Amino acid sequence: MPERNRTAALACVFAANGFALTGVFMFGPLLVFRLNGLGASPATIGLFSTAVWVGVLVTTPFASQWVRRIGHRGALALSGAIPLAAIVGVATTESVPFWALCHFVSGGASALRWIVSEAAVAEFASDARRGRVVGLYQTMMGGCIVGGPALLAMLGPSSMHAIWASGALITIGLLAGLPMPNPQPMTAESAPAGSRSLLANMRRAPAVMIAGILGGFFEMGITSLLPVAGLQLGFSAAAAALLVSASGAGSALMMLPIGELADRWTRRTVLLGCASAVLVACLALPWAAHAGFPLAVAAFVWGGAGGALYTLAMIEIGHRHRGPDLIEATSVLVLAYTLGGLFGPAVAGAAIGVSPRFALPAVLAVIAALGLLALTRLLPRAPSRH
């Protein structure tokens, strides 16, 4: 593809997701506030919040089938139309079970957008600049994660203006993605269907699975428990909440530099360096836990290096795959990251219950060490450039 066409295609993907994801990241917290206003219990709200991740898990194995039938552009449009319909449904009803259904189908649409967009960015980017482009895209994603809730706070969580603003942003994103070209056509013969294909790709790419699980565990899973850990260690509520900000800052600020390094060094070197940084942060936690700033540094490393593991895995499969194979490989990575994010809170919560100062770092260090060992053995030693 000519360079000018690559740039135009990437601009479509960035614009479509920049607007749509800001709206999507308003939608989840908005639902939580509306449920709280109706008097729902914390347990009910917690279960409600898992609906979106159930939607992601259910949809991921079949993403390639949807893309094969309607193309990348059609899948991106569908992933915008579904949450838009869900927002309208939430705005016009007060049925909590119906809201849960809307949240579930929005999660499924988010999985489709996630996979199609990541694969398109990796495919449209040139080999020489794939690390930079993927890193920049992940940085934009971090901005959407911060920008959506911030806009919700500005408009008022209970305001109808917030609901319609979320819908408007998703609509703009939907329209912005319509000119996106299909990277490669996917025919009925070009990709096997459903879970069989996904399982085959898992067996072929164990290093991608490990990197994805570690990334989801430390970037997404642990972050959700950082306020609890901070409170258990005796920090104020404000200081505990700032640990989440530190992790988010790591995720947002480190992706582009890591992507640049991946364009200049072997990706194996950068990936193992990030996994090592996660392990060092875990080992330092018993000494960092007595003060807010050192613990915030550890949270920054978990967010940055943990997120970089996912980003580097995406860069790697972008170099190795094209077309339908890239969609399948991206599905494996998204599934692995989601599983890591789901297991993280359960593991960290149990460790915090035993001892936030010692059991938590011990458990996290063991997981980080096992992941580093697995990646060291599974990643090829030969330079993996272009």
Higher pLDDT, 145 or 116: 116
- Which tens digits make up the pLDDT trace of 305-344? 989 999 999 998 998 888 888 888 898 899 899 888 888 8
Q: What angle do CA 341, 342, 346 make, to 5 degrees?
A: 110
Which has the closest alpha carbon to 301: 362, 368, 358? 368
| Residues in the chain, total | 386
Which has the closest alpha carbon to 343: 204, 171, 219? 219
pLDDT band, very low/low/confident/very high, at 184 (cuts 50, 70, 90):
low
User: What percent of the chain lies above the pLDDT cut of 70?
Assistant: 92
Compute CA 59 distance to the chain's CA centroid, rounded to the nearest angstrom. 15
- Which tens digits make up the pLDDT trace of 147-170? 888 888 888 877 788 899 999 999
Rounded Cα–Cα distance for residues 332 and 199 (Å) = 8
The structure tokens listed for 359 are 């059991």
What is the reported pTM? Answer: 0.84
**What are the backbone dihedrals phi and psi of residue 19, each rounded to the nearest 5 degrees, phi first?**
-75, -50
- Which tens digits make up the pLDDT trace of 15-26? 999 999 999 988
pLDDT band, very low/low/confident/very high, at 386 (cuts 50, 70, 90):
very low
Rounded Cα–Cα distance for residues 342 and 199 (Å) = 19
End-to-end CA distance of the chain: 17
Q: Do 140 and 251 contact (CB within 8 A), yes or no? A: no
Neighbours of 146 (CB within 10 A): 17
* Domain annotation for the chain: domains and CATH numbers: 1-190 (1.20.1250.20), 193-386 (1.20.1250.20)
- Give the model's pLDDT for residue 202: 67
Lowest mean pLDDT among 40-49, 114-123, 292-301: 40-49
Q: Do 82 and 106 contact (CB within 8 A), yes or no? A: yes
What's the rounded mean pLDDT across residues 108-129?
Answer: 92
Rounded Cα–Cα distance for residues 371 and 3 (Å) = 38
pLDDT band, very low/low/confident/very high, at 186 (cuts 50, 70, 90):
low
Query: Does residue 135 carry a pLDDT above 80?
Result: yes
- Which tens digits make up the pLDDT trace of 58-91? 898 888 888 888 888 999 999 999 999 999 998 8
Which of 53-63 are b and which e, b meaning 16 or more Cβ less than 10 Å from the residue's Cβ? Answer: bebbbebbbbb
Which has the closest alpha carbon to 164: 49, 15, 23? 23
- Give the model's pLDDT for residue 85: 94
Residue with tokens 């505990």: 240
Q: DSSP states of 12-69 as a string?
A: HHHHHHHHHHHHHHHHHHHHHHHHHHTT--HHHHHHHHHHHHHHHHHHGGGHHHHHHH
Rounded Cα–Cα distance for residues 100 and 46 (Å) = 11
The structure tokens listed for 338 are 């989601």
What's the rounded mean pLDDT across residues 105-116?
Answer: 92
Neighbours of 294 (CB within 10 A): 14
Rounded Cα–Cα distance for residues 37 and 158 (Å) = 8
Rounded Cα–Cα distance for residues 279 and 245 (Å) = 21
Q: At what angle do helices 292-320 and 237-264 cross, to 10 degrees?
A: 30
